[in-house]
Structure 1
């Protein structure tokens, strides 16, 4: 029987809240993984550093594929969630199916061994799920397996060892009950942020693979909600929407890229994570997007200077959903979704293929006024006629964002905000 393998990718995006805190110098270190010589001597052979380069390359490649279809819609996704899920799947792939997955995920087996890929993700999962971190960050995997299907013990051992995956037996013959069970699992793991993701299951579903990411960060320098005001966000030359615009007058790591015609601002969280916000000049968004590469971001971060700025950033809450199967096929990863799929390393006496791959991300960016409003801060600086006026960087038109974990060197999320008032997919 030709069983269908239903691969479900999901994550909860970001919930940003403010909490008063002191500067954390570790957060101001440059992200090492963007450049080829990123590692310090003692870190050169760490598996998660090796895969970080490939994961970054995949992130920007996937973004550009999404951009081709997004039009004027917001973009938001977790490249790490997608690469983790498909790398976990690759444990059961063989022959050309495996080669396509490696190529699509930007893994070069002349530079690293296949074992190192999985050891790298194993380490990333350990680093992200460290309970002692200030940032609330959870990432995990699960396999819901039809009780008529027997997976190979070697595959189950590997997904458990490397990806800390749960293996849950389900009765897919009772589709409503199985759907309810999976949705409940998703809702629990995403703290109620993603509800009823699955409407139903295909009749021939044999396995559902899930990856989830939950991130809740607190700004190192919170916004004061008393400074938030109504303002216009320019959708294009003729149209605008009203947004709640947050404001700060503080020192941030910033860079003005004259060649790309954009501002880059680093906003740190407590707990070794940062957001990069990229504001292209009017009419230059495509130019900046075309140049989005690991090397570009590396150059930005190496060029940061800490300066006081007047910063405007909108509050927003958006979600995005993607048909990853369609996007991967356009990126050249086709065989795993076809009748030529070789997933023989997964199950006994069953021919499997991936029938669906879906991804949903949610992001909330705010100042969480209750905590921030209770804080009064007075800063005094020496006046000098020699000091130039701080730049006023207003994110009141479409911009790019990335959320980066500095400990695992991972791009957790990335996207483009073209309309912060458009909440849904």
Structure 2
């Protein structure tokens, strides 16, 4: 009888900072992609490669969010749907038969609307666009395979993960488990600029391969908050309880939308570069109603309905993280076979039965004023007085709210979450 070896799938979905200091150019190195976007001249039609997979990736993001919500209870939620879908799409290159069909369905890919090749071409283009070193927003996303020397990968799988997903292939000795764990954790720590440390605690003794996907994002607000106006304020956890937070404040023109049907405010805060954060503030008692309505059509309608309007905005500073057992969540979403002895990953390696034994995901976010270095400027803004316009609304994110970080170049949801307690430090 053949021994079943295990493919340990590790996801690392990482890290978003809605601001922060230091020199962008110092850290803009990171991803070495063979075809840089400026050298890439797509043939007619390939321009749309990332556009074809975008709706499926958004569908997946909201499906996964709703699954996480079932288990999160009253805790913060934060994850990168793009990291998870990229890692599993990359794995699907080696999946066959029902295992492959389940993965496609779980990732919201409908093969009557696109060919399998187009899925991978879409992710290839997303990686090229996200890793463009000329973007103002600091963004790096990449993949790595840590492969035991006992495992003979099929050349086609290796070629495909390198070609479509720009994956590094790193030879590892999983018989020396502590050393392999250290090597993988060091890789993750480097790629996430120290934001994710010691993620991997242990490895299944039969592990022969670990797949890592990371995403790192560091954006500067187009309109930074002044730290001079940040003050202590109450954040209402529920009707009876509150916590103290550092509340940032702005009195400016933003793109906003009031959704009367769902009873919520939507405020767009753009980053320098082609990315933005959408902050969604449900009226008291309507969070579930808004969450239930999270669909690509809803968010698309919000984006199209945004209008420039002066508002008084209060937004808390916060640093939160989320850690998830993706294997358990996927099984509840109907993706089961890839984790079982029935898994067909025969396109990965020669004469070896593989299955996924672990899939984990961690994401962190840090939102603050903007991370300015020393600078001073005086601006006097003069506006006409008018009694005809209603006063600017005061939108106070002082109760649980949702956050979606969107990359507008690829139409991707990079990160999403729910902030129920900005002061919480849980993983």
SS class of match (1:145):
strand
Between the aligned partners of 2:375 and 2:19, the Cα distance in structure 1 is 12
User: How far has the Cα of 1:43 moved from its partner?
Assistant: 7.1
- Asked if 2 retains the 8 angstrom alpha-carbon contact of 1:222 and 1:372, the reply is no
Task: Give the match for residue 8 of structure 1.
Answer: 10
Measure the CA separation in 1 of the matches of 2:5 and 2:371.
51
**TM-score (norm: length of structure 2):** 0.93
**Alignment map for 1:80-91 (pairs within 5 Å):** 80-91=82-93
Q: Does the Cα contact within 8 Å between 1:122 and 1:163 map onto a contact in 2?
A: yes
Within the alignment, does 1:69 sit opposite 2:71 as a pair?
A: yes
Query: Is the alpha carbon distance of 1:44 and 1:12 closer, same or farther for their aligned partners in structure 2, counting shifts above 3 Å?
Result: closer
Change in 2 beyond 3 A, CA 1:416/1:75 = same
Matches within 5 A, 1:343-382: 343-368=345-370, 370-371=372-373, 374-382=376-384
Query: Cα distance, 1:11 vs. partner?
Result: 2.5
Whole-Å separation in 2 of the counterparts to 1:12 and 1:60: 18
Superposed CA deviations along residues 187-229 of structure 1, whole A, max 9, x for unmatched, are: 0000011011111211100100000000000000000000000
TM superposition shift of 1:16: 2.0
Aligned residues: 403
On the 8 A contact 1:224/1:372 being kept in 2, the answer is no
Question: 1:204 is matched with which residue?
Answer: 206
Q: In the TM superposition, what is the alpha-carbon distance from 1:424 to its structure 2 partner? A: 2.5
Q: Distance in 2 between matches of 1:126 and 1:169?
A: 25
Contact 1:225 1:372 in 2 (8 A): no
Deviation track 1:294-330 (CA, whole Å, cap 9, x = no partner) reads: 0001111111110000000000001110000000000
d(CA) in 2 for partners of 1:249, 1:373: 20
Structure 2 unmatched ranges of 5 or more? 22-43
Paired with 2:45 and 2:283, the residues of 1 have a C-alpha distance of: 38
Q: Evaluate the alpha carbon distance shift between residue 205 and residue 253 of structure 1 in structure 2; reply closer, same or farther with a 3 A threshold.
A: same
Secondary structure of 1:355's partner?
A: coil
How far apart are the structure 2 equivalents of 1:112 and 1:355? 30
Give the one of 181, 185, 194 matched to 1:183: 185
CA distance, structure 2, for counterparts of residue 318 and residue 160 of structure 1: 33
How many angstroms does 1:78 deviate by? 0.3
Match of 2:107 in 1: 105
1:94 and 2:92 aligned = no
Change (3 A) 1:332 1:263: same
TM-score, normalising length from structure 1?
0.93
- Residue 223 of structure 2 is matched in structure 1 by 221
Matched with 2:316 is 314
* Aligned CA distance change for structure 1 residues 59 and 258 (closer, same or farther; 3 Å): same
Per-residue deviation, 1:423: 2.1
Counterpart pick for 2:150 among 148, 151, 164: 148
2: CA distance, partners of 1:376 / 1:181: 50
Change in CA separation of 1:368 and 1:77 when aligned onto 2, cut-off 3 Å: same
> Secondary structure of the equivalent of 1:288?
helix
Displacement of 1:375 in angstroms is 3.8
Q: CA, structure 1 residues 379+284, in 2 after alignment: closer, same or farther (shift >3 Å)?
A: same
Deviation at 1:374, TM superposition (A): 3.0
What is the SS of the residue equivalent to 1:2? coil
Alpha carbons of 1:165 and 1:121: their partners in 2 closer, same or farther (altered >3 Å)?
A: same
- CA distance in 1: counterparts of 2:91 and 2:366, whole angstroms: 30
Q: How does 1:16-55 map to 2 (within 5 A)?
A: 16-17=18-19, 46-55=48-57
Q: Secondary structure at the match of 2:19?
A: strand
Among 122, 125, 142, which residue is 1:123 paired with? 125
2: CA distance, partners of 1:43 / 1:418? 43
Give the conservation status (yes or no) of the 8 Å contact 1:146–1:172: yes
Identify the range of structure 1 (363-372 vs 314-323) with the bigger mean alpha-carbon deviation: 363-372
1:400 counterpart residue number: 402
Deviations 1:98-157 (A, max 9, x none): 000000000000000000000000000000000000000000000000111110000000
**Structure 1 counterpart of 2:423:** 421
Do the aligned residues in 1 keep the contact of 2:255 with 2:307 (CA within 8 Å)? yes
Q: Using the alignment, how far apart are the partners of 1:376 and 1:182 within structure 2?
A: 48
- Indicate the residue corresponding to 1:241 in structure 2: 243
Q: How far did 1:18 drift?
A: 6.1
Preserved CA contact (<8 Å) 1:47 1:119: yes
User: Mean Cα displacement is larger for which, 371-380 or 254-263?
Assistant: 371-380
Distance 2:288 2:258 in 1: 17
* Higher mean displacement: 9-18 or 52-61: 9-18
Aligned residue for 1:194, secondary structure, equals coil
**Contact 1:183–1:195 under 8 Å retained in 2:** yes
